[in-house]
Structures are given as C-alpha cells and as structure tokens.
Amino acid sequence: MKPITTDILVCGGGISGLLTAKSLLNLGLSVVCLEKMKDSLKCEAIVEDGRSTALLQPSINFLSDLGLWRNLSQKSQALESLILCNLSPDENLIDEACEFSANDMNLETLGFNIPNDFLTSELKKSLISESKFIFLDDVVIQDLVSKSKEITAVTDQGHKITSKLVIGADGKSSSLRELTKIGKFSLDYNQKALVFSIKHELNHKAKSFEIYESGGPCTLVPNKTSKADGYFSSVVLMQNLKEVQKTLSLDRKELAVFITKRTGNLLGKCEITTKIKKFPIMSQISRQFVGDRSLLLAESAHVMPPIGAQGMNSSIQDIKFLTELLDLEAKDNKDYGQSNLLDKFEKARANKIRSRMLGIHILNKVSINGNGLALTMRKLGLRGLSKNLKLRKFVMNLGMYEKFQASQ
C-alpha cells in the first residue's frame, strides 16, 4: 500500500473530527481523517440520530466562518433564552426560575439547536469535494512512530500515514489517547441521560428550559417547528440509575404523563415522538491534552454532563483555538506539531476546561441532592440571579464567550 503524507492526521470521523478537518482545510492544510466505523462521505447521514446539539452564538459564528451556516440555518431552531427552573417535588410546579435572555446581551439569539444527523450530513457534503482531504473508514491506528520533524501512523489496514501532527477527536474512549499513553481522570455520577423528542401543546417560543429536581436536571431544547405542524422539543432527562429503570418501564402514554409533570407543565401536555436513547453521565478529563506530535481535543480530552450546553461548544472552542494557533505559530515553518505550539495549546485549553468542568460538576451535584439544604440553595441562587442583571450577564459571558489569545 502506497504511503500517505499529509500535514495533519485527524482520528475520528464524527462531528468534532469532521469540524476539525474542515477548519484546518480552510487554512490550506492537507488533512487525512480516520474513522474506526464503516462510513462514507457520500452518505448524508449514517442513521437517524434523533439527537440535536444546542450551539451557542460563538459556535454559530465559527460555523459561519467555515461557510457552513447558510445551509445549516434552514433546519436550525433559534434559542432566544435559557430558563433555569426549580421544580417543587410536592406539587410538580415551578416555584422559582431565572431567565437568561439574549436581549440581556444585546443579541438576537443565544444560539441555535441543530439536528445531529443534519449537521453531520452538511459537514460531509462540504468535505467531499476538498482536494486536500482524504477520508478513510473502518480503520484504526495500531502504532505511532515519532521523529524530530514528523510522526507516522500505522493502521490495522496497512496504511502508513506521515504527518506533522496527529489529532485525537475520536471520543471519550479515544484510541489515540491510549496509544500515546495519556492517562485520564473519570468520575461516574451513577446517572444516565434519557434522550428523546416530544410534541407539546404550547409554543416553546424559542425558549430552552433546565428544570432542576433531585436526581438531576431535565432539559428541554426547542426544535424547529411551526404552528401548522405542531410544537416540538428535545428532552435530556438526567436521573439516577434506580429512577432510570422506573422511567424506562413506562409505556409511551405513561411516559407522556410523567414528562408533562416533570417539566412543570411548562409546555402543556406532552407526547413522545421518538425512541428513548440512554447515555451514561460522567465527567472525564485527560491528564494532559498533548503528547509527542499529538494532541487531544473535544471528548477525547474532556467529557461533561449535558448541562448548560457546554459539551460541544467547548469542543468547538478547542478546534477554533487550535486553528488560530496553527495559523499564528506555524505559518512560516509549517511545523504544525512543534513542542512550543503544543505547550501553548495545553496551557490555554486545559486550564479553561478544568474550570468549566468544575462549575458543571457543582451544578450537577447540587441538582442530584434532594435534601432540604440543596433545595434551599437552588431556590435562593435562582432568586438572586433573577434579580441581578449584572450577575446574569457575568454568568452568560462565562458560559458563552472565551478570549482567543493564541499569540500569548
């Protein structure tokens, strides 16, 4: 098999891997992308994913810079506000709430909710005609050989791919992380997220809700809908393992009644419209984000509970920072895996991610705890935020924006 030489090798053909490839191709670099599953760029979507991703405005701006947003906007639902709510366990009614509105930030929207399968499809369409891009599926790296100016990956299919930098974007069970012997820290919350879609009686009015009760939050994210077709939202319900079993034992009608109550009747009567998928809830972070001519980003580097739309948005900030860093630091010498560049990525991204994960961890622990003190803390916190615009703006800035200072 003929050896392949490229500027960048990306491991992972999911959303994060394809976004990384697209962003680096826009710099004029050559990219090879490896996907361990059988896949093809010609497939608009592998299967109906059924999930969606809430992308905040900085991520939307990034997609626009990549030339993707015009098409993606056609099936994306605007998010005009996020409302944090506390659900009274006795009455199944919202007894405290705080709204984070785009208007408070002088924005039209906080972001958009995009179907995962549509996002994947549009990414593949944009990559299929790229002359500097090679996509290889059903392939896994078995060995890495690093030299002073390059690194060579050997795959199970016999490929030899030499590049300046290998990027791991292959998920929380990253094979690149294992190959580079980078350790990880994991925390299991003994929770699972149940993910499904609902049709509901009342208009969501482009509002997303995070509804807190003991056991974990229930998040409603509006989907693209119209009055003629009905109103739809995606649901991410986080529960402890015991409650998950109870919920999964319900039939569709029983589940519809349950979710109507669990959401405080905010959207009226609910109807389940998709199958339920379940995912373990965990926090995980790599001990380091870089190795010898190798780098981890997105879920290969960090995994967070689905709270505050931080997961994919943090991954996109990884990609954006890396792109700017490569453009600034390696434009002249073309050495995209040089150690000082990797050190800057480690210092900048690892510190930001650790602080963000700590905040998400605290929010999740407070939501899990059902004792009186935790309930009082939740209510007082929401009440304080709702009355203090400056504090709300500060929280929104923390959640949405990062200063990209790649040159420092």
DSSP notation for 56-102: EHHHHHHHHHTT-HHHHGGG-EEE-EEEEEEE-TTT-SEEEEEEEEG
Q: Which residues pair with 193 in a beta bridge?
A: 238, 279
Place of tokens 């947003």: 69
- Residue by residue, DSSP assigns 162-191 as EESEEEE-S-TT-HHHHHTT--EEEEEEEE
User: How far apart are the C-alpha atoms of 387 and 380, rounded to whole Å?
Assistant: 11
Residue 356's contacts (CB-CB under 8 Å, 6 or more residues apart) are 304, 310, 314
Backbone angles phi, psi at 130, to 5 degrees: -75, 120
* Domain ranges for the chain: 4-50+116-185+284-367
300 contacts: CB under 8 Å, gap ≥ 6: 11, 12, 168, 169, 170, 171, 172, 174, 176, 177, 286
Question: Which secondary-structure segment (H or E) carries 134?
Answer: strand 133-137
Determine contact, residues 370/86, Cβ cutoff 8 Å. Answer: no
Q: Residue written as tokens 């392949």?
A: 4
Cβ within 8 Å of residue 230, ≥6 positions away: 199
Contacts of 389 (CB under 8 A, 6+ apart): 104
Alpha carbon distance 323, 406 (integer Å): 9
Token pair belonging to 8 = 């960048």
Q: Which residues pair with 84 in a beta bridge?
A: 98, 210
Which residues in the chain show pLDDT less than 70?
A: 43-50, 227, 370, 402-408
pLDDT of 407: 39
Enumerate long-range contacts of 312-317, CB under 8 Å, 24 or more apart.
Answer: 312/15, 312/16, 312/53, 312/54, 312/55, 312/59, 313/55, 313/56, 313/58, 313/59, 314/353, 314/356, 315/16, 315/19, 316/19, 316/55, 316/58, 316/59, 316/62, 317/58, 317/59, 317/349, 317/352, 317/402
Structure confidence at residue 404 (pLDDT): 39
8-11 and 31-35 beta bridge pairing: parallel
Calculate Rg over the CA atoms of the chain.
Answer: 22
Alpha-carbon span 296 to 173, nearest angstrom: 12
> For residue 331, what pLDDT is reported?
81
Four-point Cα dihedral 61, 62, 68, 73, nearest 10: -30
Q: What is the pLDDT of residue 46?
A: 46
- The structure tokens listed for 245 are 């079993």
Whole-angstrom Cα distance, residue 43 to residue 50?
17
Q: In this predicted structure, what is the pLDDT of residue 368?
A: 80
Per the CB < 8 A criterion, the answer to whether 228 and 175 are in contact is: no
CB 152 within 8 A of CB 160: yes
Assigned fold of 4-50+116-185+284-367: FAD/NAD(P)-binding domain (3.50.50)
Q: In which element (H, E) is residue 377 found?
A: helix 372-386
pTM above 0.85, yes or no: yes
Contact between 323 and 24 under an 8 Å Cβ cutoff? The reply is: yes
CB-CB contact of 37 with 13 (8 Å): yes
Q: Is-contact 225 75, C-beta < 8 A? A: no
Question: What 3-state DSSP class applies to 233?
Answer: strand
Q: Which residues contact 236 (CB under 8 A, 6 or more apart)?
A: 193, 194, 195, 218, 219, 221, 306
Residue 408 confidence (pLDDT): 36
